[in-house]
Amino acid sequence: MFVTFEGIEGTGKTTQIKKAMDYLASKGRECVLTLEPGGSRLGQHLRSILLHMESRDLTGETELFLYLADRAQHVATVVCPALDKGKCVISDRFADSTVVYQGYGRGLDPKLLHQLNEVAVAGTWPDLTILLDLDPEIGLRRALARNAAECKSREEGRFEAEAMDFHKRIREGYLTWAGLHHDRFRVVDAAQTPDEVFAQIKPHLDAFLEK
């Protein structure tokens, strides 16, 4: 079982992923938690390049190929080996982030990005993708406060520093893309309390556990 979590910055993905891990463990499922960018050894280097404020001069295409390289290595060395052992894999962001951020956000062609993703994931698509949907005004405020509290504004703040228009395009892009892939996407209202948000997610996990 391969589950991914997506959403704009500050939606509470980390909190919900932890709840999902605990829930699946309570049902006897062995889970591996991973993330993009940065899920593999190589990916950790790519993550620090991609998110650092110094990388503001990267072209859209350069950024794209770094995310794809991160993904190809992540799938081959982390996701597939865990799935092959029968484990449940939960990834904080995956291929949909590329379509939405580099496509709907930066203006590259979403269809082309989907094809490039096909190369990077080599057939390993999520069974279930939870989209945490939130007004970017709220999400960004939360994300900026978190980065400041963790002193990460410079190392990990490149996307949070984008203009509000960019974040609005990301939110709309996610909703559009989720509508096009409603077989595996489940959209959850992330404006509620953490327990209320997880109450929306749990039935989707249960549906898979029953399969």
Other Cβ atoms within 10 Å of 110 Cβ, number = 18
- Tell me which residues in 100-119 interact with ligand TYD (CB under 6 A): 101-102
Partners of residue 6 on adjacent β-strands: 131
Pick the stretch among 72-80, 93-101, 118-126, 181-189 that binds ligand TYD (CB under 6 A): 93-101
Rg from Cα positions in the chain: 16
Residues 161-180 binding ligand TYD (CB under 6 A) are: none
Instruction: Map the footprint of ligand TYD across residues 6-25, applying CB under 6 A.
Output: 9, 13
Q: 78: closest CA among 22, 28, 121, 21?
A: 121
Q: Are 63 and 140 in contact (CB under 8 A)?
A: no
DSSP, res 129: E
With respect to ligand TYD, which residue has the nearer C-beta, 180 or 209?
180
Residue 139 · residue 9 · CB < 8 Å: yes
Q: Which is nearer to ligand TYD, 174 or 198 (CB)?
A: 174
Contacting residue, 37, 39, 43, 110, with ligand TYD by CB under 6 A: 37
Whole-angstrom Cα distance, residue 25 to residue 14? 16
Interface segment toward ligand TYD; rule CB under 6 A; list 73-81, 83-91, 96-104, 200-208: 96-104
Taking residue 193's Cβ as centre, other Cβ atoms within 10 Å add up to 9
- Using CB under 6 A as the binding rule, the residues of this chain from 42 to 81 that contact ligand TYD are 51, 67
4, 16, 40, 98: which one contacts ligand TYD (CB under 6 A)? 98
Task: Sheet containing 185-189: give its strands across.
Answer: 31-35, 88-92, 2-7, 128-133, 185-189
* Residue 156 touches ligand TYD, criterion: CB under 6 A: yes
How many residues touch ligand TYD (CB under 6 A)? 14
Residues in contact with ligand TYD by the rule CB under 6 A: 9, 13, 36-37, 51, 67, 92-93, 97-98, 101-102, 156, 159
